[in-house]
Structure 1
Amino acid sequence: MLKLLWLVVILAVLRGCTAQTPEAYLLQSYSLPPDLNFMPTLGNGHVGYTVFGDAIFMNGVYNGPSGNSKRARIPNWLNISTEVCDRFGCATDADVAVNGTSYEMDLRDGYFRSRTTYKGLGLTVEQRTYPHKYFNRALVYEVVATRNSGYTARANSPQFLRLSQHPGNASDAFEFVVVSNGSSASGDYRTIRGRTEVLEFERFQPEHQEIYVLFSESLEQPLQLEWPTWQAELSHRIIICIDRQQSVALKELQDVLQLNANSLLQRHTDAWRNFWDRDFSIELVGNAPELSQIINAGIFYLANSLPSLSTNQANEPFYGLSPTGLGRGNLEADYQGHNFWDTEIWMLPVVTHFGFEYGKQVLDYRSRKLEAAKYNARSKGFKGARFPWESAFTGTEVTNPCCPEVAQQEIHISPDISHALQKFLAQSGDFAWVCEKAWPIAAEVAEFVVSRAACEEFRPVCHLLNVMGPDEDHPDVDDNVYTNAVSKIALEFAEWAGVYCGNDSTELFEKWRLVNDRLLILHDTQLDYHPQHVGYVVNTTVKQADTILLGYPLGYDKSTTHLNDLRIYSNVTRESGPAMTWSMFAANYLTSKEEWTGHEYFERGYKNYVRPEFKVWSETPLGYEGSANFITGIGGFLQAIIYGYGGISFSRNDNKTMMNVRVGTAPLDVSEVHVNYLRYAHSTCRWIFGHAFSKMDCGARTGPDFVMVQGKKRTLLGRSFNVTLLKGDEPIQISYLE
C-alpha cells in the first residue's frame, strides 16, 4: 500500500512538471514583432528586462541628476544565443524547417522560449529565459538541444553548441570594474561591481549606488559545448545574479547552483502557478480566445513588475510601478522608469486584488518618500507634502527638463495618492494601517492643498489656479474640475483619518473643511455638464480622460450631469489618446447602465493598442509613436472588466467599509466572467457575472461576520456566504459587523 501511495505521488509530480499550458496562457508566434520593443518584458520586482533587448534594470537603481535621472542600464548579459556547429561551420537559416522556429511566452509558467527545428540535421534546440520568481536575484538562461528520434550520425552532424552573449553597448550609467574573473580551481565566480555615475539629488542621496553582478561562468568569449554525435541530448544553463550586496548575490548564486536545471525551473513555475491559482486570475466562458489571452497577458505583465512575496532572501524596499514596468526605463519613451499618478490611479486598484500585501508594497514607496514630498512643497513656497509629478530614487522632482510646466502644474498627483489610500482602506478594512501609514500622508497632502488654494475674501469660494489636469493639452488653467474634485476628496479623507487616529486639533480640521466646502466645482447649468476648466469651450479637443473621471474612479458624481459629461467629452477626445482613456469611458458607461456604448469603448480600449504576437500593450494606437509594455493601459483595461462589467466598488462610510455590488454584465462573445480571489477585508471571494446575473461566493477563516443590506432588508451572512443577483434586483452593500 505504501509503494502504491508513493507511485501516485510520483505520477502527480510528473504530471505537474509536464502539464500542457492552456491556450489562454500560451502566446505563440512564428515571427517576431517588426519592432522588438514589443517583445515580452519579464521581471520579478527585483530585476527585469525585455526579451532580446540590450538592458537589464534593477528595482530602485537610477542614474542622473534631477530631470535627467533614469533607470540605470545594466548591459543585458542574459541576451544569449545558441548555434549548432560542426567542424566545418555552424547551421544557417537554410537548415531550419519552414516555420521551424517558434517563439512562445508561457504566461502561466512565467518564461519565454524559442524552439528551432533543423530539418536536415535531425535536431531541435530550445532556449529559455526568465528572471526567477523565488530566487529573485537570479536571471536564468537555459538551452536544451535534442537529436530527434530516428537520428543517424552523419559527416555533417553537429558536434558542439556555441553560446554567445549580445549585451549591447557599454552602459553609460555605471562605472564597472571586475572584482574577480572567476576560477574553477578557486571555486569563485566572475564578479563585476557597478557604481552609478551621477547622483539624483545629493540632499536625499549622499552616496552613489553600487550593484554586484555575478556570473555562473564567463561568456566574454563564445562558449563551446562539446556534443558527441552519439549523445541524444545536451543541456546547459547560465545564471546571472544581481544585488546591491555582493554577499546576497553570492548566496543566491550558490543556492541556485545546488539545484539541477529541472528543479530550478520547477521552483519558478510553481511560484507563478501559485500566483494564478491562489492570488488572482480572470477566466472567460464563451467564444473569446484572444480576449482571454489579452487578459492573462495583461495580468502577467503587470504582476511581473511587482515584488515576489515569497523569496529565497529578503526583498529590498520597492520603488514603485512606472508606466512601462521594471524591465524598461532608460529611454524617454519609457518615461525613464519614473513613478507618476499612473501607479495609484491606474494600476493600484488592480494590484490590490492580487493581494493586500502587494498594495501595501506599492503604497509604502510614497510613505518612504514623504519627507522628500514635504521638501518639494517647501521649495515652491507651500506647506505640507507636494508629491512630484515624476519621482524615482529620492522622491524629489525628476520630470524631464523638456516640460517644466508639467512639474509645476500637475498638482493633482498629491490628492491622487490620498484618494488611493482611502480606496485601499475601503477594500482592505485595515484600520491599523490607516493610522500608521495613511494618516501621515493624508494630513500633509491636505496641508498642501490648503496652502495651494486661493480663497476669495468676499465670496465663499476657493480656487486652484494655474494648474494642469490629466488633459495635458491644456496647461495653465484655473479650477480644472478633476483636480478640484480629487482635492476635495483628499481633504475629507484627511479630516476623517485625523479624527479616527486620535488627533484632536479642531482648528486644523476646520481649516481643511473650510477649503473643502468652498473649493469650486464648475457646472454649466444650461448644458448640465462640468466644463473641464475655466474658459473651456464645448467641442474643444482634449487629450485623454479628465472630467469623466468624476464618475469612476472618483465616485464624486453619478448624476445625470455625469452622463452629459460622458457624451460631450466622448466626441472631443483625440484619437491618439492613451490606452486607458477608452477603458475609463467603458467603465463609466457600464456603471451608468449604458451597456452597448460601454461595449464599444471597451473594445476600442484594447483592439488598437495590443500588439498581436505577445499581447504587449502600446501607449498609443497603431500608427502613432508611444511607449511599449504600457502597463498603465493594462491597469485601466482590467479595471473596466472588474469594476465596469463586474459592477463592484468599495467605499468607506464613517468607520465602516463596504463592498457595493450591482448586477454586472459581460463583454461581447462572453457568457460569463469569473474573477477569482477577489478580496474584501478578511475574506476572499469568487465573483462570477454574466449578461443577466451576478454571483458572489466569499469565505473567511477568521474575523467578524458579514452583513448584507439590500434596500431596507438587512441579512446576517456569517463568515462565509453565497449571494446571487438577477437582472432587475436592487444593488447590495456588504460590510462586516463591528
Structure 2
Amino acid sequence: MIDARKTLSLSVQFNEIRTNNESEMTEMPAMHAEIILAIFTSFCLLSSAEISEYVIKSERLPPDLNFMPTLGNGHMGYTVFGDAIFMNGVYNGEGGNSRRARIPNWLNLSVAKIQYEEWELAIIPDMFELQLQDGYFRWLFAYEANGLQVKLEQRTYPHRYYNRALIYELFVQCTGAIDPLLIKLNRKPGGKSEAFDFSPLDSANGTVSFKMLQGVTRRLEHRNFQTEPRKIFVAFSDDWKNEHTIELSAGQEELYYRYVITADEREEIARQEMAEVIKLTPEILFQRHALEWRAFWSDFNIQIDGNLELSHIVNAGIFYLANSLPSLNTSHLNGAYFGLSPTGLGRGQLDADYEGHNFWDTEIWMLPAITQFSTRWAEQLLQYRFEHLRGARYNAKQTGYQGARYPWESAYTGTEVINPCCLEIAAEEIHISPDIVLALQHHYAVTHSKEWLCRVAWPIAKEVAEFLVSRVRDDGRKFHLEGVMGPDEDHSNVTDNVYTNVVVKQSLEFASFARSMCVLTDGRPDVWLDIARRMQILYDEKLDYHPQHLGYKRGEIVKQADVVLLGYPIQFAMSNVTRRNDLLNYEAVIRESGPAMSWSMFAINFLDVKDIEKANLYFQRGYKDYIRPEFKVWSENKIGFQGSANFLTGIGGFLQTIVNGYGSVRVQLDGNQSVMVIQKTYCLPTSKGFTINGIKFAQSRFSLKIRANGTTTLSCVEKGDLNIELLVDTQKYAVQEHFSIDLTGSTASLRTI
C-alpha cells in the first residue's frame, strides 16, 4: 500500500522536477497537473492486493522470446531482449516491401557475469517482472555465500515524458566484499540494420559530449509521395561496444549505472533530450516517467474483483495497447503520429508483424477501446487518415475510381503497401474505407464536437462517399458490390458481401449527415442516401439469417467473424431472432486457426440476445487460448498455430467485450444528438464484479460499477462543458459532477442537450 509519507515524497520530488528543470520542460497543462494531484489522492487509497493487479511476475522467460513484453511510448518501441528498435513513421522499402526501419537494439543490455577475486559468477535472474502501473520491465538477481551478499536489479523502459529517450538502469547492492567487484555488461543489438546506413557525427554539444550517429533509410516507399529518404539521429550516453565492465570498489555498498539512447528525426532534439536526461537524478528521471503512467491509469482503468489472473490479463492488455500510443505530455512537442499497426510500434520488420502497416484493425478493433482511454489518442489516429487523404485519392484514381479509396495497408505515404503475397486482398477488401467513416461517426458520437466533425470527419466522409458512388453497380432496383472480399478472407471475389454492403450503407448515411451539418445543401436529390436506401442487403427469409455473400452455402468454413459483426459493432437494425440465427449459423464454421477477436464478437452478440451461457463460453475462449502465461502477451492465433505476437487487434476486441459487452456501453447518433445507452449489464464470469473507470462521453467521464449480485451503479466523475441529461426508464435527470444512480434492471440513456 502507498502510505501518506510515500505520497508526500512523490509530491515533493515532482515539485523538485518542476523547479530544477523549468527551462528544459514544456509547461504542464493545468488539467494535467490536476490529474497528477488526483493520482496521489487515489493511489494512496489502493490496497496491496489492488497494487498487485499491476505487477506480473515470472521466474522464467517464455520459451519463444518473441512473446516478451513490447514496450513503447508512441515515439519509439522495442521488444525486451529483442534485436530491434523502431521509430514512429520511419519505414524503409518500396511499395509492398515497405516496412518499419529496424534500428539495432543498442539498449539490449544485461549483466552477464560478476567477477570477485578468482571466481566468476554467471548471472541467471531469479525473477522477471512487468510493472504495469509505472511502465517498466525489470529482472532481479540475488547471491549470498561466504559472507558476500549481492543484489542486482536491472530495468528498462521507453521514457513516457522524455519520449525520445530509452532507458536501461542497473542497481547493485553489495555487502561483505573485501575486494573490488567487477560487473560485466553485455549488449546484444543484433546484426547491422537492413534499413539504415549509419554514420558517426560530431558529438560535441557545449560542455556535454556523447556519441552520435546519423541513420539514412535506403529506399523510398513511393517516389510520388516521398522525395527523400528518412533521416534519424541517435545519441548514446556512453560510448562502448558490446562489452563493458563496471567496478564496485571494496567496501562500496551501492552502485547505480544508467545507459540512455535518444533518437529523433531532428538532430537538435536528440541532442537536447540526451543533455536533459543525463543531468537528472535516478529518482527524478524515473518518477517523471512513472507520473505519466499513473496519470493514464488514473484516467482509465478496469478493476476486476475476485480474479487476480483475469485482472492481470486485462491490465496487461490495456498497457500493451496504450504503450504504442503517443505520450500526451512530453519535454518536446511530438511530430505527426503514423498510426497503430496490429502488433504495435515495437515491432514491424517481419511479415508476421504486418510490417508495421495500418489496417482496418485500427478503426474497428482497437479504436473503440482507445477512445475510452483518451479521446485525444483517438483523434490522433483519425488524424493519420485525414493527413493521408492524398494517398487515398491516388489509390482510387489508380484503380479506376473517384474520390478517396483508403489502401488495405498503409504506412508512411498513405499509398497501398500491401505485401506482394496478397494483392487480391488490397483489390477486394474495399470495406476499409467505410470502416474508417464509421470510426469517424463513432468518434463524433462520443465527443459531440462539431468543429472536429467539419474539419476532419466531413472531408474524409465526402471523398469516401464519392469513391463508393463510383464503385457500386445499379441494376435499376438495387445497388450491388461485385468482386469484393469481406472480413472473411477465405472467400474472395464475391458479390454483395453483407458486411461490406452494410458498412457502405451506413457510411453513406453518415456522409449525408455530415454534409447537412457542415455545408449548405443545394436542394438536389441526395445520391448518397438513395444508394444507402437501395443497397442490397442479403437476407434469407426462410431461414431468417444473413448469408455472408451471394452464393454462400451454409456450413462453409470462414476465417473469422464477418456476418456476426452486423449486430455489434456495426449496430445494424435487425430482430434478436435473426441475430441469434446469424450467431448459430456462423459459430460452428469459424476455422480453428482463426484470430482471437472473432470470439470476442460472438461473446458480445450472444449477450445482446441474452444467451449468457454462450457469451461466457466465448468470452473465455477469446483470451485463454491466445495469451502466453509469462507476461500475458497475446498471440494472433491459438497456441499451437503460428501467428503474430503482441497482437493488439485481439486485445482491442477483448476490451470491447468488457466495456461494450458485459458493461453494455453503446454510443450512437440520434438525429443530431449523441446518445450513450447502457442496457442490461452482466458480471464478468469467474469474478465478483468489475468497475470501468473513465468512460468517455460528451466531454465527461463516468464510472460503471457492476456487481455479481446484479446491481449496477453509474457515476459521473468529471463533468465537461456539454449539457447532458440522463433518462432512466421514464425519469429524467440533469447530469452533474459526482452524480450517481443505481441502474439495476433499468435501461439508461445519456443524451446531449
TM-score normalised by structure 1 residue count: 0.94
Q: Distance in 2 between matches of 1:503 and 1:211?
A: 46
Report what 2:63 is aligned to. Answer: 34
Query: Helix, strand or coil for the counterpart of 1:640?
Result: helix
Contact 2:57 2:130 (C-alpha < 8 Å) held by counterparts:
yes
Report what 2:613 is aligned to. Answer: 596
CA deviation after TM superposition for structure 1 residue 14, in Å: 8.8
Query: Helix, strand or coil for the counterpart of 1:659?
Result: strand
Query: Helix, strand or coil for the counterpart of 2:321?
Result: helix
- Deviation track 1:125-144 (CA, whole Å, cap 9, x = no partner) reads 11110000000000000001
Amino acid in the other structure paired with 1:255: E
Query: Does residue 138 in structure 1 map to residue 165 in structure 2?
Result: yes
Report what 2:76 is aligned to. Answer: 47
Contact 1:663 1:689 (C-alpha < 8 Å) held by counterparts:
no
Judged with a 3 Å threshold, the aligned counterparts in structure 2 of structure 1 residues 537 and 87 are, in CA distance, closer, same or farther, namely same
Query: Does residue 636 in structure 1 map to residue 636 in structure 2?
Result: no
Report what 1:114 is aligned to. Answer: 139
Which of 441, 452, 455 does residue 436 from structure 1 map onto?
455
Amino acid in the other structure paired with 2:670: N
Query: Helix, strand or coil for the counterpart of 1:670?
Result: coil
Q: Distance in 2 between matches of 1:535 and 1:452?
A: 21
Contact 1:217 1:238 (C-alpha < 8 Å) held by counterparts:
yes
Query: Does residue 726 in structure 1 map to residue 750 in structure 2?
Result: no
Taking the TM superposition and a 5 Å limit, the aligned residue runs for 1:41-440 are 41-82=70-111, 83-86=113-116, 88=118, 90-92=120-122, 101-120=126-145, 121-147=148-174, 151-153=175-177, 159-180=181-202, 182=203, 187-277=208-298, 279-286=299-306, 288-440=307-459
Q: Distance in 1 between matches of 2:500 and 2:10?
A: 59
Taking the TM superposition and a 5 Å limit, the aligned residue runs for 1:464-503 are 464-503=481-520
Query: Helix, strand or coil for the counterpart of 1:122?
Result: strand
Amino acid in the other structure paired with 2:285: L
- Deviation track 1:425-482 (CA, whole Å, cap 9, x = no partner) reads 11111121000000000011111111100111xx411100000000000011100000
Judged with a 3 Å threshold, the aligned counterparts in structure 2 of structure 1 residues 221 and 571 are, in CA distance, closer, same or farther, namely closer
Amino acid in the other structure paired with 2:150: L
CA deviation after TM superposition for structure 1 residue 704, in Å: 4.2
Query: Does residue 548 in structure 1 map to residue 572 in structure 2?
Result: no
CA deviation after TM superposition for structure 1 residue 11, in Å: 8.6
- Deviation track 1:600-630 (CA, whole Å, cap 9, x = no partner) reads 0000000000100000000000100000000
CA deviation after TM superposition for structure 1 residue 708, in Å: 2.4
Report what 1:706 is aligned to. Answer: 724
Query: Does residue 455 in structure 1 map to residue 477 in structure 2?
Result: no
Judged with a 3 Å threshold, the aligned counterparts in structure 2 of structure 1 residues 544 and 11 are, in CA distance, closer, same or farther, namely closer
Judged with a 3 Å threshold, the aligned counterparts in structure 2 of structure 1 residues 158 and 412 are, in CA distance, closer, same or farther, namely farther
Query: Aligned pair count?
Result: 715
Instruction: Give the gaps of 5 or more residues in structure 2.
Output: 15-39
Instruction: Give the gaps of 5 or more residues in structure 1.
Output: none
Amino acid in the other structure paired with 2:132: L
Contact 2:156 2:167 (C-alpha < 8 Å) held by counterparts:
yes
Query: Helix, strand or coil for the counterpart of 1:418?
Result: helix
Structure 1 residues 705-714 or 109-118, which shifts more? 705-714
Q: Distance in 1 between matches of 2:10 and 2:385?
A: 48
Query: Helix, strand or coil for the counterpart of 2:494?
Result: coil
Judged with a 3 Å threshold, the aligned counterparts in structure 2 of structure 1 residues 686 and 341 are, in CA distance, closer, same or farther, namely same
Report what 2:706 is aligned to. Answer: 689
Judged with a 3 Å threshold, the aligned counterparts in structure 2 of structure 1 residues 135 and 184 are, in CA distance, closer, same or farther, namely closer
Judged with a 3 Å threshold, the aligned counterparts in structure 2 of structure 1 residues 623 and 7 are, in CA distance, closer, same or farther, namely closer
Query: Helix, strand or coil for the counterpart of 1:403?
Result: helix
Q: Distance in 2 between matches of 1:497 and 1:227?
A: 67
Q: Distance in 2 between matches of 1:515 and 1:125?
A: 67
Q: Distance in 2 between matches of 1:8 and 1:375?
A: 55
Contact 2:716 2:736 (C-alpha < 8 Å) held by counterparts:
no
Contact 1:48 1:56 (C-alpha < 8 Å) held by counterparts:
yes
Computed over aligned residues only, the root mean square deviation of the Cα atoms, in angstroms, reads 2.1
Judged with a 3 Å threshold, the aligned counterparts in structure 2 of structure 1 residues 249 and 326 are, in CA distance, closer, same or farther, namely same
Amino acid in the other structure paired with 1:673: F
Q: Distance in 1 between matches of 2:698 and 2:489?
A: 37
Contact 2:208 2:275 (C-alpha < 8 Å) held by counterparts:
no
Contact 1:85 1:160 (C-alpha < 8 Å) held by counterparts:
yes
Judged with a 3 Å threshold, the aligned counterparts in structure 2 of structure 1 residues 307 and 479 are, in CA distance, closer, same or farther, namely same
Contact 2:634 2:647 (C-alpha < 8 Å) held by counterparts:
yes
Amino acid in the other structure paired with 2:644: S
Amino acid in the other structure paired with 1:140: I
Judged with a 3 Å threshold, the aligned counterparts in structure 2 of structure 1 residues 117 and 7 are, in CA distance, closer, same or farther, namely closer
Contact 1:78 1:167 (C-alpha < 8 Å) held by counterparts:
yes
Q: Distance in 1 between matches of 2:666 and 2:361?
A: 19
Judged with a 3 Å threshold, the aligned counterparts in structure 2 of structure 1 residues 720 and 92 are, in CA distance, closer, same or farther, namely closer
Judged with a 3 Å threshold, the aligned counterparts in structure 2 of structure 1 residues 654 and 218 are, in CA distance, closer, same or farther, namely same
Judged with a 3 Å threshold, the aligned counterparts in structure 2 of structure 1 residues 718 and 282 are, in CA distance, closer, same or farther, namely closer
Amino acid in the other structure paired with 2:388: K
Amino acid in the other structure paired with 2:330: T
Amino acid in the other structure paired with 1:283: Q
Contact 1:196 1:210 (C-alpha < 8 Å) held by counterparts:
yes
Taking the TM superposition and a 5 Å limit, the aligned residue runs for 1:657-696 are 657-691=674-708, 692-696=710-714
Structure 1 residues 125-134 or 183-192, which shifts more? 183-192
Contact 1:663 1:694 (C-alpha < 8 Å) held by counterparts:
no
Same amino acid, percent of matched pairs: 47
Query: Does residue 613 in structure 1 map to residue 638 in structure 2?
Result: no
